[in-house]
A and B are shown apart, each in its own frame.
Chain A
Amino acid sequence: DAGVIQSPRHEVTEMGQEVTLRCKPISGHNSLFWYRQTMMRGLELLIYFNNNVPIDDSGMPEDRFSAKMPNASFSTLKIQPSEPRDSAVYFCASSLLTGLAGGEQFFGPGTRLTVL
């Protein structure tokens, strides 16, 4: 298996632009998680899905952030409009079991986002 796939790996954009990050989870996994990692705040859970359904989006910082999972093999995290403080590494992870109690999450390589 190729593992969790994320694209793009790097994204540089200007403030105000729309940014879309993409994730393909491991086939057969039932949960998908979006995280953000910064030096100041560490790794933060933004939202997670069970069987393609958003369960908890309380970590999404603002209404500018939205996430979708139209099917079991694809998810997007969109930021519109983007701001410099959104600059971070965004990770997608998937887990075989549903919910946070699954424990073992497989992380993708991340997307490094820079908003100028």
Chain B
Amino acid sequence: EDQVTQSPEALRLQEGESSSLNCSYTVSGLRGLFWYRQDPGKGPEFLFTLYSAGEEKEKERLKATLTKKESFLHITAPKPEDSATYLCAVQAYDKVIFGPGTSLSVIP
């Protein structure tokens, strides 16, 4: 069965404390893996698309990487404004599956 899991479920960091979020997937025929950020009461906001193992994308303090079975979202020296829920989604053939998300809190 196609599945996407994310860990940890919640993460609390001090400002400046770098860490990584994990997205693991078991799907047949990966077409792409996407990372979104969602703030409370808002729709998800697109961050990155990764298409093949070994690919990396960066944006400000965020860096996404992809292997054959998982993706990591690395957050370097986070700031309070990085607090949000981070969702990963996997496209497999004709469907897209979202993970449950990681709720990140960055404390000043």
Residues of A within 8 A of B (CB): 4, 42-45, 56, 58-59, 91, 93, 100-101, 103-110
Q: Are B49 and A42 in contact (CB under 8 A)?
A: no
Given known pairs A100-B94, A100-B95, the reply for A42 and B32 (CB within 8 Å) is no
Contact between A44 and B43, CB atoms less than 8 A apart: no
Q: By DSSP majority rule, is chain B's interface helix, strand, loop, or mixed?
A: strand
A-B contact count (CB 8 A): 49
B43's closest neighbor in chain A, by CB?
A: A107
Task: Determine whether the beta carbon of A42 is less than 8 Å from that of B96.
Answer: no
Q: Contact at A108–B43, with CB atoms within 8 Å?
A: yes
Enumerate chain B interface residues (CB-CB to A < 8 A): 31-32, 34, 41-46, 49, 87, 89, 91, 94-96, 98-101
Collect the chain A residues with CB atoms within 8 Å of residue B46's CB. Answer: 103-106
Question: When chains A and B are docked, how far (Å) is the Cα of A4 from the Cα of B46?
Answer: 13
Cα–Cα, bound, A101→B46 (Å): 14
A101/B31 contact (C-beta < 8 A), A42-B98, A42-B99, A42-B101 known: yes
Query: A45 with B96: in contact, given A103-B32, A104-B49 (CB under 8 Å)?
Result: yes
Tell me if B43 and A101 are in contact (CB < 8 A).
no
Taking the closest CB of chain A, its distance from the CB of B47, in whole angstroms, is 9
